[in-house]
Amino acid sequence: MLRTETVRKILSWYEGETPGLKSNLSRLLMHGRLAGTGRVVILPVDQGFEHGPARSFAPNPAAYDPHYLYELAIESGVSGYAAPLGLLEQGADTFAGEVPLILKLNSGNSLVKTQDQALTGTVEDALRLGCVGVGFTIYPGADASYGMIEELREITLQAKSRGLMTVVWSYPRGGNVSKAGETAADIIAYAAHMAALLGATIIKVKLPTDVVDLADAKSTYEKNAIALATGAERVQHVMQASFAGKRLVVFSGGAAKNREELLSEVQSIRDGGGNGSIIGRNSFQRPKAEALELLKQVMDIYA
Amino acid sequence: MLRTETVRKILSWYEGETPGLKSNLSRLLMHGRLAGTGRVVILPVDQGFEHGPARSFAPNPAAYDPHYLYELAIESGVSGYAAPLGLLEQGADTFAGEVPLILKLNSGNSLVKTQDQALTGTVEDALRLGCVGVGFTIYPGADASYGMIEELREITLQAKSRGLMTVVWSYPRGGNVSKAGETAADIIAYAAHMAALLGATIIKVKLPTDVVDLADAKSTYEKNAIALATGAERVQHVMQASFAGKRLVVFSGGAAKNREELLSEVQSIRDGGGNGSIIGRNSFQRPKAEALELLKQVMDIYA
Amino acid sequence: MLRTETVRKILSWYEGETPGLKSNLSRLLMHGRLAGTGRVVILPVDQGFEHGPARSFAPNPAAYDPHYLYELAIESGVSGYAAPLGLLEQGADTFAGEVPLILKLNSGNSLVKTQDQALTGTVEDALRLGCVGVGFTIYPGADASYGMIEELREITLQAKSRGLMTVVWSYPRGGNVSKAGETAADIIAYAAHMAALLGATIIKVKLPTDVVDLADAKSTYEKNAIALATGAERVQHVMQASFAGKRLVVFSGGAAKNREELLSEVQSIRDGGGNGSIIGRNSFQRPKAEALELLKQVMDIYA
Amino acid sequence: MLRTETVRKILSWYEGETPGLKSNLSRLLMHGRLAGTGRVVILPVDQGFEHGPARSFAPNPAAYDPHYLYELAIESGVSGYAAPLGLLEQGADTFAGEVPLILKLNSGNSLVKTQDQALTGTVEDALRLGCVGVGFTIYPGADASYGMIEELREITLQAKSRGLMTVVWSYPRGGNVSKAGETAADIIAYAAHMAALLGATIIKVKLPTDVVDLADAKSTYEKNAIALATGAERVQHVMQASFAGKRLVVFSGGAAKNREELLSEVQSIRDGGGNGSIIGRNSFQRPKAEALELLKQVMDIYA
Amino acid sequence: MLRTETVRKILSWYEGETPGLKSNLSRLLMHGRLAGTGRVVILPVDQGFEHGPARSFAPNPAAYDPHYLYELAIESGVSGYAAPLGLLEQGADTFAGEVPLILKLNSGNSLVKTQDQALTGTVEDALRLGCVGVGFTIYPGADASYGMIEELREITLQAKSRGLMTVVWSYPRGGNVSKAGETAADIIAYAAHMAALLGATIIKVKLPTDVVDLADAKSTYEKNAIALATGAERVQHVMQASFAGKRLVVFSGGAAKNREELLSEVQSIRDGGGNGSIIGRNSFQRPKAEALELLKQVMDIYA
Q: What angle do CA B21, B26, B30 make, to 5 degrees?
A: 160
Band of residue E256 on the pLDDT scale cut at 50, 70, 90? low
Q: What angle do CA E75, E79, E81 make, to 5 degrees?
A: 80
| Contact check, Cβ <8 Å, D59/E214 | no
- State the CB neighbour count (10 A cutoff) for residue C143: 12
Asked whether the beta carbons of residue D91 and residue E194 sit closer than 8 angstroms, the reply is no
Distance from CA of E30 to the nearest CA of B (A): 20
Q: D touches which chains (3+ CB pairs under 8 A)?
A: A, B, C, E
CA distance A88 to A104: 9
The verdict on a CB contact (< 8 Å) between E15 and D89 is yes
Task: Round the average pLDDT of chain C to a whole number and report it.
Answer: 96
What DSSP character marks residue D2?
P
pTM: 0.96
Pairing of strands E118-119, B80-83: unpaired
pLDDT at position C18, please? 96
- The residues of chain A scoring below 50 in pLDDT are none
pLDDT at A256: 67
What Å distances lie between residue C133 and B187, C127, C161, CA to CA? 59, 9, 12
* 3-state secondary structure at position B244: coil
Do the chains contact at C11 and A162, CB–CB below 8 Å? Answer: no
Could you tell me the pLDDT band of residue E1, with boundaries at 50, 70 and 90? confident
Alpha carbon E104 to its chain centroid, in Å, reads 10
Give the residue extent of every domain in chain A: 41-302
E strand map for B156-247 = 165-170, 202-206
DSSP code at position C104: E
Known catalytic residue at E139: no
pLDDT digits (tens, 9 = 90+) for E155-194: 999 999 999 999 999 999 999 999 999 999 999 999 999 9
**D contact set with B (CB within 8 A):** 2-3, 11, 18-27, 30, 74, 89, 92-93, 96-98, 124, 127-131, 161-163
pLDDT, tens digit, for every residue of B29-57?
999 999 999 999 999 999 999 999 999 99
Q: Do chains C and E touch (3 or more CB pairs under 8 A)?
A: no
Element (H, E) at A168: strand A165-170
What is the mean predicted confidence (pLDDT) over B4-13?
97
Q: Tell whether the model's pLDDT for residue E114 goes beyond 80.
A: yes
Contact list, E16 vs chain B (CB under 8 Å): 18-19
Q: Decide yes or no: CATH 2.60.120.10 for domain E41-302.
A: no
Residue B254 pLDDT: 67
Distance (Å) from the alpha carbon of D85 to chain E's nearest alpha carbon = 6
- Quote the CA–CA distance of A285 and A299 in Å, as a whole number: 18
Q: How far apart are the first and last CA of chain C?
A: 16
> What is the dihedral angle through the alpha carbons of B146, B148, B153, B156, rounded to the nearest 10 degrees?
-160
Residues 6 or more apart whose CB falls under 8 angstroms from that of C32 comprise: C41, C76, C77, C78, C79, C99, C299
Query: What would the mean pLDDT of B179-208 be, rounded to a whole number?
Result: 97
- Looking at residue A148, what is its pLDDT? 97
Read off the pLDDT of each residue in D219-238 and give the average, rounded to a whole number: 97
- Single out the catalytic residue among E70, E171, E190, E302: E171
Section D179-204 average pLDDT: 97
Complex prediction ipTM? 0.94
Higher pLDDT, A2 or B137: B137
Average pLDDT over residues D88-105: 96
Interface test mutation site (partner C, options D197, D203, D205, D218, max chain C beta carbons within 10 A): D197
Q: Count Cβ atoms below 10 Å from residue A297 Cβ, excluding itself.
A: 13
Using pLDDT thresholds of 50, 70 and 90, give the confidence band for residue B16.
confident
Amino acid B249: pLDDT: 98
pLDDT in tens, C43-79: 999 999 999 999 999 999 999 999 999 999 999 999 9
pLDDT in tens, A89-128: 999 999 999 999 999 999 999 999 999 999 999 999 999 9
Radius of gyration for the alpha carbons in chain B, expressed in angstroms and rounded = 18
CA distance C169 to C183: 13
C291, pLDDT greater than 70: yes
Helix axes D288-302, D66-76, angle to 10 degrees: 40
Q: Which of A27, A30, A128 sits opposite C163 (nearest CB)?
A: A128
Question: What pLDDT is recorded for position C257?
Answer: 77
Cα B209 to Cα C283: distance, rounded to the nearest angstrom? 75
Instruction: State yes or no: pLDDT of E4 exceeds 70.
Output: yes
Q: Could you tell me how many CB contacts below 8 A there are between chain A and chain C?
A: 101
Cα angle for residues B18, B23, B26 (degrees, 5° grid): 130
Specify the pLDDT at position D256: 67
CA distances from C183 to C187, C189, D170 (A): 7, 10, 34
Is the pLDDT at C1 greater than 80? The verdict is no
Nearest to D193 among C53, C92, C129 (CB): C53
- Considering only alpha carbons, which residue of chain C is nearest residue D140? C111
- Of the residues B81, B139, B171, B190, only one is catalytic, namely B171
Nearest to C216 by CA among C187, C188, C196: C187
Residue D135 has pLDDT above 90, yes or no: yes
Q: What is the distance between the alpha carbons of residues B273 and B38, in angstroms, rounded to a whole number?
A: 11
- Selected residue of C106, C110, C284, C285 to mutate for chain D interface (largest D Cβ count, 10 A): C110
Instruction: Name beta bridge partners: E148.
Output: none
Mean pLDDT to the nearest integer, D105-131: 96
Chain B residues with beta carbon closer than 8 angstroms to that of E18: 16
The arithmetic mean of pLDDT across residues E21-42, rounded, is 98
- Amino acid making up residue B119: L
Closest approach of E33 to chain D, Cα-based (Å): 29
pLDDT given for residue D205 in this prediction: 98
- Looking at the partner chain, which of C55, C91, C121 has a beta carbon nearest the beta carbon of D217? C55
Indicate which residue of A171, A190, A206, A302 is catalytic: A171
C60, C34 contact by CB (below 8 A): no
Give the pLDDT mean for D22-50. Answer: 97
**Closest residue in B to A172 (Cα–Cα):** B111
Q: Torsion over CA of E186, E188, E194 and E196, rounded to 10 degrees? A: -120
D204 catalytic? Reply is yes
**Is residue B253 very low, low, confident or very high in pLDDT (cuts 50, 70, 90)?**
confident
Q: Do E175 and D113 lie within an 8 Å CB cutoff?
A: yes
Confidence check: pLDDT of D271 > 90: yes
User: Is pLDDT above 90 for D221?
Assistant: yes
**Mean pLDDT score of chain D, rounded to an integer?**
96
- Which pLDDT belongs to residue C254? 67
Cβ contacts of B91 on chain A, cutoff 8 Å: 15
Residue B42 has a CB neighbour count (10 Å cut-off) of 25
Helix (H) or strand (E) holding A103: strand A101-104
The contacts of residue E134 (CB under 8 Å, 6+ apart) are E102, E103, E104, E105, E121, E123, E126, E155, E159, E164, E165, E166, E167
Given an 8 Å threshold on Cβ–Cβ distance, is B129 in contact with A16? yes
pLDDT score, position A2:
79
